[in-house]
Every structure is written in structure tokens, then in C-alpha cells.
Chain A
């Protein structure tokens, strides 16, 4: 593009145009070029022939050796079934990189992408970065409503545009140290948040200014103890029918914030907990505080079980659904659901071939089951959830049940992606640290901020 701009400038100079005119012309031409070059198309009118020999690019976020091998095996299965379609796999791609590549386009840009977060689905759909897959599903006679679990169906579309499809899911539950539970005289995992508070205090053993064992790390920086994962147990409605934030009006949010703050205060206070957190191991490493026994209970996704077992902890691991509010005991068993998604780039010139690949990895029962067995994530089709080929530790069943539970919740897609979730989380940091003390006023202000951010994105 700069080369073309220069041609315009030199051309104008040669013709003796005034300098101002040349600059104006150059600027206009450059902007026009920029606008046309960067503008993609959002329609899914794919015309490529998927039966011809073709290579597609697949970008995904998995990075661990065992995970990338699982992806390679999945791709090998596809290539065996579709010998004419070859897949060039690019691992360890974050959403930032994916988003930039989707805008840039070109031969090396992804035809198919996979993202670890559902937070950006709204942005992927509303911007037209990924194509609407509804026509593809329709063409192949696949009904998403009967193929995928309800929550997964919800988080893969925005405003009727199904620009993504679930590729394995994540369900959040409670991990607990059975040995520590027995030592503290606790017989079963907590079912309500009141029981949870009592257990967390019982399990906490202080040692001077720090802890020998912490019952639970409630801080929002405690990796998976994010606002949306807590709130999932309170079944909130994030937006009203007009699309405005419900943060200040839905009592579920108030209850969620109050519960977490109470836990922070009761377990030692924000500063003490943050100082302790800074001493703990990495979330993805073997020295995760739950593996080492430094934290007795952990809010986490289904993948933790495999990681914890691999770390060979010196205690017995228990798994249960997360507690529910005291007045929702009948809904015990629900949880927060999210997952990895896949989609087809709007800039791709091989969308039909890309669809064959996406269809295989997300709807072929054996492929989904095999991938789930390797990655230790929750299968993302109803058929795969019931498949006898699914291999899992008996404790993993808890997460399969959470995924299938109709009361399980997710956070909805938004036009500006996960900005509203980050805004709520940032308010959470201020509230847990005591920087904000008036919860009601804080929620109102945060809701207004969410509405303003959404308005800005439109």
C-alpha cells in the first residue's frame, strides 16, 4: 500500500501539480486504498469446489505438546476422510492475533479459526469477520438445536448470526482436597454458599502473616475465580430486552459480589490473600496451589482434573458441582458453561472446503469424542456426550452432567466481545480491594459504562 501511495505522489509531482494538491491526492488515494484493502465481506456465498485438491489454514490456540498432538490427530482423521483437503495447522494463536489476521487476509491468513474464549463471538459475528454458518448447516441438513447442548448453542451466535460452532466445551465445578476435608471433619462437598463459607473457614490454617493451607482463594485474580464464573451459580441475566446492562437491576449480581466480598473478608482480607497469591505457582504448571495442597478448594474447569492427576498430588481429589445460593438448592448441579469455538474466515476463498473441515471437527461424533478423550474437555455435541466411546475418570462425569444440566448458564455474546465482562471484572477488583464500598452506586456506574461501551461499538 505505501508503494502505491508513492506512485500517486510522484505522478502528481511529475505533472507539476502543486505540493498541496499532491499531498491531498496522496492522502485521499491512500485512504481509499486503505479502506478498500481492509474492508472484508461478511456474506457466506462460498463458490469454491470442495471436491478439488485444496489446502486450508487452521489457526488454533492450543499450545501444550499433548494438546497440539491431539489437534494433529484430529486433523489426520479429517484428511483421511477427505484426502483432497489438506490442513495447514498453526498452533498457539491468541484472539488478538486471530482478529488481526482475519482483517489482514491473504494466503497465509486462516481459513478456519478456533478460539479458547466465547467472549469474542459477538465481535466476530457483528464485524463480519467470520461467516454465518446457518446456510452451511441448512445445506447439509444439520440442525444445530438438536446437535449441540443449549448453552453452547447460545454462546456460538449473536443476533441470529451463527458465526461460530462449539468445538468441545468447558464446564466449571468445584475441586476439593478430600484428605483436608477429612482432617477438618467435613464429610461432603458444600451444596450451598453458606456451607461453602463454613467449610472454607474450617479448611484455612494460618501461619503468621500467611497460610499453611488456605480453604479457598476467593480473589478475582485467582485465575478461574472470575466474576462470570461466580455469577454462573446465581443465574443472572446480563442484558434486558432493550440490550441494556442489567448489572444494577438483577439481584443475582449483588448477591454474587456480596458473597465473594464476604469470603475475602472472612478468609483474611484482600491484602493478605493477594500477598499469599503472589507466592503461589502458575495456573498451568505442576505447582498450581491446588496440586500442592496450598489451597483446599478450587473453582475450576474440567481440564483441572487431568492436570491435577498428572501432578500426582499427595491427597485424594474430589470433584463436585459448585454450590448454589441458599434459596436455589433445587438447582444444585448447575454450573457455568463456556468453551472453544470454531469459525470460517469471511476473507477465505475456500469456504466450502473450510466448512467440510469445521463440520467434521465439530459434528462428527467419533471425531468429537476422540478429541475430547485426548484434550479432557467436555464433548460439545449431544451425541458425543452420550457416546460409549467416551473415556473418562468417574469424577469427570460431574462436568458432563453440568454441561447437560438445563439450568447451567453462560454469558451472552455482545457486539464488543468480552468488554462488558472485563468491565464487570474490573469493578470486582475495586470492590474486593475496598476501593469501592458503595456496591449499589458502583453497580449503577458500571452498568452505565457497559451501555456506553456498547454504544461506542455500534
Chain B
């Protein structure tokens, strides 16, 4: 009798737990598990959105990896942006955060000045940058030419298009600055005082006090930065369109990744394959590549997290 009661209690407890967890479970099933399963399924199907899907085996995978001319350039660009843009954004965001926490007067003004660009809509910000960096008429190149510095082609030059996108990303550093400022202000002052008493230099205080304390925030910034960059779509698309001159025209041919595929990113391929060519199967392949890459990067960074805890806590 008591065994039955215990089993019944356990079952009720399990059901209660399940009930409390159900909102998350529902969200996970509907917004993650189902789309993921569907994406895997459709990656093996030929489907254009009209005719019923038909099994195509590994045809879509072979097409994307071996024959789709934009895949490898887009993958290289995405990896470049993950490595360079994310790193620079974290370093710059931390630098600005440090600077503003050290400023004695006018902190509010500087904080606002650095945060405001983050609020600019991505399309407007990218168009503004494309005009500012226009190699022929942009003020940036006019100034560079006046001081005798060779003016780059920026968004019109395949060598400079990604650095130009990185500049745009650094301009909108407000989000990271705020997060880092909060973390920096949270570092216990007594640790700095103790380090000073021990004769630690400014660099040593940063290296052995600041960095270990804010390492979880640095990790957060890196992981979210990697995931955001994997989804990087609007800015490279708009920059390419504005610079190529194909900003409008409902029937105009569009060259993806102008110039010379240098601004092409994987999310643009998902759109191109899925919603322009209506080759949902191949679009799913690219989406899965993005998913796997995000998982690999995140897993790698999470494993390396210990390395960032420099004090070895």
C-alpha cells in the first residue's frame, strides 16, 4: 500500500514538474525541435513550395558543397567576420567601457555618444556608411586624400569591403560597451587596492584583476557575437546593393555579394536559395551548415572558458 502511495506521489510530482516545465517544453518543441527536424528532412527533399516534396537523397548536399558557386566564398567571408569582426568588437567594446568608467566628468555625455549609434536602424546606418565611404564622393576619402593617405575603395573594393563592414560594426559598439561597463563597475575595489599595495602596474591590474573578474561577460560577448555574426544579413546585403548601384528596380538583376562575392554571407544564401530560387532543399542544407557551425563555435568557446579565467579560479 505504502509502495503504491510512494509511486503515486512520485508520478504526481513528475507530472507537476512536467506541468511547470511545459511552457519551455512547448516552446522548445515548436520553435526549435520541429523546425530543426523539418530542416533536416527538407534538406533531403526536392521542394519548390508548390509541388509536393520528393525524395532527392544527397543531391542538395552535393549541389551546395560542389556546384553552388556562392557557398565557399560565403563560408570564407562568414568565418573572416567571426574571427576578425567579433574579436575587434569585443576588444573595442571593452576598451570603450574601460575608458568611460575611468572618465571623471562628462561620463553621461560620452556614454550617450557611444551608445546612440547602436540605436540606428541597420539599413539606415549601412546606407550612411556606404555614402560616407563612397570612393569617389565620400568625405572619408576626401579627407584621406587631403592628408596624403591612399584612399581605399571600401565597399567597392573586394579587399576593403569586409574591413568597411567591420568599421560599421565597431561604430555600433554601444551594446557591448554597456555590458562591459556594468561588469567593470562590479569588480571589487579592494582587489585593485590590494594589487596596488603589491606594486602591480596598470597592465598587471588589468591582466590579473579586471580580466578574471569580467571573464564570464567576455565569454558572453564572444558567444553572442559569434551567433549574431553567423546571422549577419542586413548590413552586407545593403552595403553590396548600395555600392553596386542596384539599390532598387523590381526586375533588376542582383549580383549577390558585391564586389566579387566579398560581402556574401551564409544567411544571404539561405534567402537566395529558399526565397529567390525556391530551392528549399538546398536552403535547408545551408541553414544546417550555419547551425552546425554555431554549435561548434559555441562548444569550442565554452570548453575554452577556463582559459579566460586567467586567475585560475
A-side interface residues toward B, CB under 8 Å? 2, 5-6, 9, 23, 26-27, 30-31, 34-35, 38-40, 42, 61, 63, 92-96, 99-100, 103, 115-117, 119, 123, 127-129, 210, 221-223, 226, 274-280, 282-284, 346, 416-419, 421-423, 425-426, 429-430, 433, 435, 449, 452-453, 456-457
B-side interface residues toward A, CB under 8 Å? 26, 29-30, 33-34, 37-38, 41, 48-53, 59-60, 63, 67, 69, 134-137, 153, 156, 243-255, 258, 260, 275-279, 282
Additional A-B contacts beyond A23-B33, A222-B245 (18; CB < 8 A): A9-B29, A23-B37, A26-B34, A96-B276, A99-B278, A103-B49, A119-B251, A221-B258, A223-B246, A274-B153, A274-B156, A275-B136, A275-B153, A278-B134, A278-B156, A419-B277, A456-B67, A457-B277
- Chain B residues positioned under 8 Å from A278 (CB to CB): 134-137, 156, 243
Report the Cα distance A129→B51, complex, angstroms: 10
- Chain B residues positioned under 8 Å from A452 (CB to CB): 63, 67
- Chain B residues positioned under 8 Å from A279 (CB to CB): 134, 136-137
On whether the beta carbons of B247 and A282 are closer than 8 Å, the reply is: yes
On whether the beta carbons of B248 and A23 are closer than 8 Å, the reply is: no
**Chain A minimum-CB-distance residue to B36:** A27
- Chain A residues positioned under 8 Å from B255 (CB to CB): 221, 422, 425-426, 429
Contacting residue for A94 out of B245, B250, B253, CB 8 A: B250
Given A9-B29, A23-B29, A421-B253, verify A42-B50 contact (CB < 8 Å): yes
**Chain B minimum-CB-distance residue to A93:** B250
B43 to chain A, nearest CB (A): 13
Report the Cα distance A95→B29, complex, angstroms: 33
Contacting residue for A418 out of B37, B245, B253, CB 8 A: B253
List 14 interface pairs A-B (beta carbons < 8 Å), by A numbering.
Answer: A2-B30, A2-B34, A27-B38, A34-B38, A61-B250, A96-B276, A116-B250, A128-B50, A221-B245, A226-B253, A274-B153, A274-B156, A283-B248, A416-B277
- Chain B residues positioned under 8 Å from A115 (CB to CB): 250-251
- Chain B residues positioned under 8 Å from A457 (CB to CB): 48, 277, 279
Task: Give me the 5 closest cross-chain CB pairs, A-B, nearest first.
Answer: A117-B251, A279-B136, A116-B251, A61-B250, A103-B49
On whether the beta carbons of B277 and A449 are closer than 8 Å, the reply is: no
B53 to chain A, nearest CB (A): 6
Report the Cα distance A430→B69, complex, angstroms: 13
Report the Cα distance A31→B69, complex, angstroms: 30
**Chain B minimum-CB-distance residue to A224:** B252
Given A30-B34, A278-B134, verify A6-B251 contact (CB < 8 Å): no
Given A39-B50, A274-B156, A283-B249, verify A456-B136 contact (CB < 8 Å): no
Given A123-B278, A429-B260, A456-B282, verify A27-B135 contact (CB < 8 Å): no
On whether the beta carbons of B136 and A276 are closer than 8 Å, the reply is: yes
On whether the beta carbons of B38 and A31 are closer than 8 Å, the reply is: yes
- Chain A residues positioned under 8 Å from B134 (CB to CB): 278-279
Report the Cα distance A212→B51, complex, angstroms: 55
Report the Cα distance A346→B50, complex, angstroms: 10
B289 to chain A, nearest CB (A): 17
**Chain B minimum-CB-distance residue to A271:** B153
